[in-house]
Amino acid sequence: MRVEDLRPLAIFEGLTDDQLGELLEAGTEVRIEPGVDLFREGEHADHWWVLVDGAIHLVRHVGREETVVGSMDVPGRWAGGFRAWDEHGVYLATGRGRTEGRVLRVPAQALRERSFAWFPFAGHLIEGLYGTARSIESTVRQREALVTLGTLAAGLAHEINNPAAAASRAVAALEDACRTLLSSLGRLAHDEISARQFTALDELRREVEPGAGPRDPLAAADLEDALAAWLTDRGVAAAGTLAPTLADAGADLDWCARAADALEGSTLEPGLEWVASTLAASTLLAEVRESTRRVSDLVAAVRSYSQMDRASMQLVDVTDGLESTLVMLGHKLRDGITVVRDYGSGVPRVAAYAGELNQVWTNLIDNAVDAMGGVGTLQLTTRGEDGSVVVEVADTGPGMPPAVAARAFEAFYTTKEVGQGTGLGLDIARRIIEERHGGAISIDSGPGHTVLRVRLPLPSPDAPRTPEHDPARP
């Protein structure tokens, strides 16, 4: 390629022959062949491409399809070279030959040197433009993080609300049960029940316990009806209330007959009310205990997930992070999602920024659930392998086409509908694993089985270690 080939191009208007000669010396002539890619979308824009003759299609992935978004068909049109001003600059589209021709390919570094030498003011303007673009990109990332945080907060509020509401209902019911228990004791005392009778009644109470009744719904209903009829025949006004509680505890007609013999007459109803209220109180206390335990577990999971009380770099068990992430995403893992845990035994700890790793697990699990449409099997696997720890997140979704899997970790690349994602999740995961932890992340995808595989290196034996982070500590 000669200076005369570049002189007619409008983009080079004002350059001297010596300057055009410098460009030619720094660059390379590349032939355009129809259907052959010159540069690819998402790759580092290490070269500046100037069309001399011929034509090039500019192709981008939109959803799962390739779409022609523009053409370079006028000599002087150019593409790429963004790394001349932005070290993170990538090609915004794939350049694919449409007709035979030629392009001048100039390394981005050479373009930078000459732009600042020939047009210093313009060079500073362009550099500022790219700085603004990078700032906008950073803002978008922060917005995505806030959206994710909002989703997690809403899910966590839902998770906490269920046990908290259950505990509140149980406490209200427990108040009624205690009131009935005291009232029945007062009536028994008024009827001057003997110590022998009360001891016999207490022994009968110990024979039954909440949940000991028939598990079959039809059998349970039949027992309730039989108890209600028996109690009604003996003039017990609260038969409809007592029968379900006694049936659930496993009391049958023989038990009721023995209770009647022990109580002898008018003390039957308050005696059975006392038994039923003690059973109800026991059941309600168990509900309160389970509900408050669930709230406590959720708080502990949030604490573990956020790692707010831990050092930045620490020795962590990846299983702990996976489990706390499952709790945080519990609102998405109900109904049709089955979680299978395949955690290896003796998997060593890794030196990591625990909070950042949890962000990775969040992105991978959330994407897996979305890929399955909320129905399928999520499998989490951990194992030690060749001086590293491997974590796999697998799903039974439809899988990714090879072209999609190849670009899944690119910034802003997404196959989701508008408003459902910005294509930052897997890019963030890649940066955290590769740049922050020196690990690797990959995809193995096929119909009905997709695996996101994370490999984290083990800390070297001579790495500094503090007692609180010593993996030998329990």
H/E segment holding residue 124:
helix 120-190
Residue 153 lies in a domain: no
Q: Which residues contact 228 (CB under 8 A, 6 or more apart)?
A: 239, 240, 243
Say whether 93 sits in a helix, a strand or coil.
coil
216 and 98 co-located in one domain: no
Residue 163 lies in a domain: yes
323 and 464 co-located in one domain: yes
State residue 56's pLDDT score. 92
* Domain's final residue, options 231, 265, 295: 295
340 and 448 co-located in one domain: yes
173 and 112 co-located in one domain: no
State residue 129's pLDDT score. 54
How many folded domains does the chain comprise? 3
pTM for the full model?
Answer: 0.45
* Domain's final residue, options 118, 149, 181: 118
100 and 196 co-located in one domain: no
286 and 319 co-located in one domain: no
| Residues 412, 414, 419, 424, CA torsion sign | negative
**CATH number of the domain that 329 lies in?**
3.30.565.10
The whole domain housing 167 covers 158-295
Residue 284 lies in a domain: yes
Residue 291 lies in a domain: yes
289 and 325 co-located in one domain: no
Candidates 434, 436, 349, 422; CA nearest to 384 is 349
CA atoms within 13 A on the CB side of 35: 0
281 and 409 co-located in one domain: no
State residue 465's pLDDT score. 45
Q: Which tokens belong to 420?
A: 């459902």
Instruction: Classify residue 393 as exposed, middle or buried by CB count within 10 Å of its CB (0-12, 13-18, 19+).
Output: buried
Give pLDDT < 50 ranges for the chain: 308-311, 417-423, 463-474
Residue 262 lies in a domain: yes
Residue 92 lies in a domain: yes
Say whether 452 sits in a helix, a strand or coil.
strand
Residue 127 lies in a domain: no
Residue 383 lies in a domain: yes
State residue 132's pLDDT score. 52
350 and 401 co-located in one domain: yes
State residue 472's pLDDT score. 36
Q: How far apart are the C-alpha atoms of 322 and 358, rounded to whole Å?
A: 7
* Domain's final residue, options 63, 89, 118: 118
